[in-house]
Amino acid sequence: MDEKQVKRRIVLVPVSAQGHVTPIMQLGKALHSRGFSITVIQTEYNRVSSSQDFSDFQFLTIPGTLTDSDLQSLGALQFLMKLNQICEASFKHCFGQLLQEQISRDDIACVIYDEYMYFSAAAFKEFQLPTVIFTTTNATAFVCRSVFAKVNADKFLIEMKDPEVQNSLFPGLDPLRYKDLPTSAFGTIEDSIKLYSEAVKTRTASAVIINSATCLESSSLSRLQRELQVPVYPVGPLHIAATSASSSLLEEDRSCIEWLNKQKPSSVVYISLGSLGRMETKDMLEMAKGLSNSNQPFLWAIRPGSIPGSEWIESLPEEFGEVVLERGYIVKWAPQMEVLRHPAVGGFWSHCGWNSTLESIGEGVPMICRPISGDQKVNARYIERVWRIGIQLEGEMEKETVERVVKRLIVDEEGADMRKRAMDLKENVEASVRSGGSSCSSLDDFVNSLQTKNF
Ligand code: UDP
């Protein structure tokens, strides 16, 4: 037997945030089903537990990393940069121990790390292990980040801060406008550029795996493949390719399914801002009133800590409760995939995180897009302009606009057309992960390359 064929362990290094953990664990499941053993190396902060459908995986924790309060005080970008700084030493120590005591280096086929755990590039190089980047955003956002890393920073900073250019198309990235570029709301533009450059600078990986599909963004994938020196494997949507994996970091409230069971088909607007999005009280109130005036039922996942200055919803005025009680239902954290699959759900009001976008596409549910940060803006633009399966709500949150957009999506002919296109896209992405489909073949190619190539 060829020596390479016995290397059957893959090490995963996730970023410990829901939108990053979910797809990398799904990738782990997909690779596990192809015969690989999986080791997950994670930080103490926001750990996935082995009891969550991952009893066959080995978990290793890097001790002494950052906490939730560090995230609050530093903001997500600084948090990530600091995490990379402090992880490297403690990681090397605990991984070295693992190699001594539990697993053989010769057994490891490769290490797949989230692109924002870029410390891995240097750390694993020291152990002479091949690395592969896993990106949890789509190819278009990846292309944008590569552009960021190359721009003339001074000129770009001036442009990005100029309100006049915000609606202009960014050269070479049509249909993205300046305001759609994936700068983060959780740090300065300077920090966004710094983080992206750090991630690009340390790239010595042998391949890139991406949770996307050719049918969604073939031109961005081709561009990425042209620009990067290594193979790019689009293997998504991973939540369809590896359905049994649940890696929710918060407890899901399934009572909303009972409530959905009582609603009419395609009538409910499901609302979620993902695991990091926050919203001001004033906007929450306008949104609740607009939703109520639209006469459509709504299911709202309001995450604890997502309203500044409030543990959950206790700081919201009484009026909010009155409006919501009329035709809404609130949970802290929803079983999102089950909700989107429910026949009562007619639309998804989303911050357009890439997982949420893929999950909505995977169920053929059209969207109301209210992006907050980073790649969500890219996704929202694609949802509205490229796939034409949603409406982006821009500008101030006003109850009249909210009412109108809900009616356009749920009641009007326009929304019915979007639903039809979303259903077509659902069929296409499902076909891509089936045997012979582009994403399934891409994952097979990756697996084969581990056995045949000198990574
Ligand atoms: N999610 C969930 N319940 C909720 C809200 C979100 O299970 O009430 C899940 C959702 O299914 C998705 C993830 O959290 O898989 C959010 O990831 P996404 O990339 O959409 O956004 P992020 O949290 O990274 O901003």
Q: Is the CB of 16 under 6 A from ligand 1?
A: no
pLDDT at 1 over 50: no
Three-state SS sequence of the chain: CCHHHHCCEEEEECCCCHHHHHHHHHHHHHHHCCCCEEEEEEECCCCCCCCCCCCCCEEEEECCCCCHHHHHHHCHHHHHHHHHHHHHHHHHHHHHHHHHHCCCHHHEEEEEEECCCCHHHHHHHHCCCCEEEEECCCHHHHHHHHHHHHCCHHHHHHHHCCHHHCCCECCCCCCCEHHHCCCCCCCCHHHHHHHHHHHHHCCCCCEEEECCCHHHHHHHHHHHHHHCCCCEEECCCHHHHCCCCCCCCCCCCCHHHHHHHCCCCCCEEEEECCCCCCCCHHHHHHHHHHHHHCCCCEEEECCCCCCCCCCCCCCCCHHHHHHHHHHEEEECCCCHHHHHHCCCEEEEEECCCHHHHHHHHHCCCCEEECCCCCHHHHHHHHHHHHCCCEEECCCCCCHHHHHHHHHHHHCCHHHHHHHHHHHHHHHHHHHHHCCCCHHHHHHHHHHHHHHHCCC
pLDDT at 252 over 70: yes
Can you give the C-alpha Rg of the chain in angstroms? 22
Q: Which amino acid is at 121?
A: A
The torsion region of residue 295 among left (phi > 0), alpha (psi -120 to 50) and beta comes to left
Query: What pLDDT, in 10s, does the model give residues 75-92?
Result: 888 888 988 888 888 888
Q: How far is the CA of 430 from the centre of ligand 1 (A)?
A: 20
User: In which band, very low, low, confident or very high, does the pLDDT at 4 lie, cut at 50, 70 and 90?
Assistant: very low
Task: Name the residue with the closest Cα to ligand 1, atom 6.
Answer: 274
Q: 228-248 b/e with 16+ CB inside 10 Å = b?
A: beebbbbbbbbbbbbeebebb
- What does the block give as tokens for 325? 């009680």
- Separation between Cα atoms, residue 328 and residue 319, nearest integer Å: 13
- Separation between Cα atoms, residue 16 and residue 13, nearest integer Å: 9
Query: What pLDDT, in 10s, does the model give residues 414-448?
Result: 999 999 999 999 999 999 999 999 999 999 999 99
Compute the mean pLDDT over every residue in the chain, rounded to the nearest whole number. Answer: 91
In ligand 1, which atom is closest to the CA atom of 23?
15
**Best residue for ligand 1 mutational test, from 134, 238, 272, 378 (most atoms within 8 Å of Cβ):** 272
Q: How far is the CA of 156 from the centre of ligand 1 (A)?
A: 31
Q: Is the CB of 334 under 6 A from ligand 1?
A: yes
Query: What pLDDT, in 10s, does the model give residues 198-220?
Result: 888 777 899 999 999 999 999 99
Q: How far is the CA of 19 from the centre of ligand 1 (A)?
A: 6
Query: What pLDDT, in 10s, does the model give residues 277-299?
Result: 889 999 999 999 999 999 999 99
- Residue 425: the pLDDT is 98
**Are the CB atoms for 247 and 52 separated by under 8 Å?**
yes
- Residue 326: the pLDDT is 83
- Separation between Cα atoms, residue 121 and residue 118, nearest integer Å: 6
**Are the CB atoms for 21 and 41 separated by under 8 Å?**
no
Residues 6+ apart with CB under 8 A from 385: 175
User: In which band, very low, low, confident or very high, does the pLDDT at 43 lie, cut at 50, 70 and 90?
Assistant: confident
In ligand 1, which atom is closest to the CA atom of 301?
8
Q: How far is the CA of 274 from the centre of ligand 1 (A)?
A: 4
Q: How far is the CA of 246 from the centre of ligand 1 (A)?
A: 12
- Separation between Cα atoms, residue 346 and residue 297, nearest integer Å: 10
User: So what's the ipTM on this one?
Assistant: 0.99
pLDDT at 5 over 60: no
- Residue 185: the pLDDT is 84
Residue 47: count other Cβ atoms within 10 Å of its Cβ: 15
- Separation between Cα atoms, residue 383 and residue 366, nearest integer Å: 9
- What does the block give as tokens for 127? 């152990």
**Best residue for ligand 1 mutational test, from 186, 336, 358 (most atoms within 8 Å of Cβ):** 336
Query: How large is the angle between the packed helices 214-227 and 413-433, nearest 10 degrees?
Result: 60
Q: Is the CB of 272 under 6 A from ligand 1?
A: yes
- What does the block give as tokens for 385? 């302009």
Q: What percent of the chain stands above pLDDT 90?
A: 63
Strand 328-331 with 345-350, pairing: unpaired
Does residue 393 or residue 187 have the better pLDDT? 393
In ligand 1, which atom is closest to the CA atom of 274?
23
End-to-end CA distance of the chain: 18
pLDDT at 117 over 90: yes
Q: Is the CB of 372 under 6 A from ligand 1?
A: no
Q: How far is the CA of 331 from the centre of ligand 1 (A)?
A: 14
Q: Which of 43-47, 121-125, 420-424 has the lowest mean pLDDT?
A: 43-47
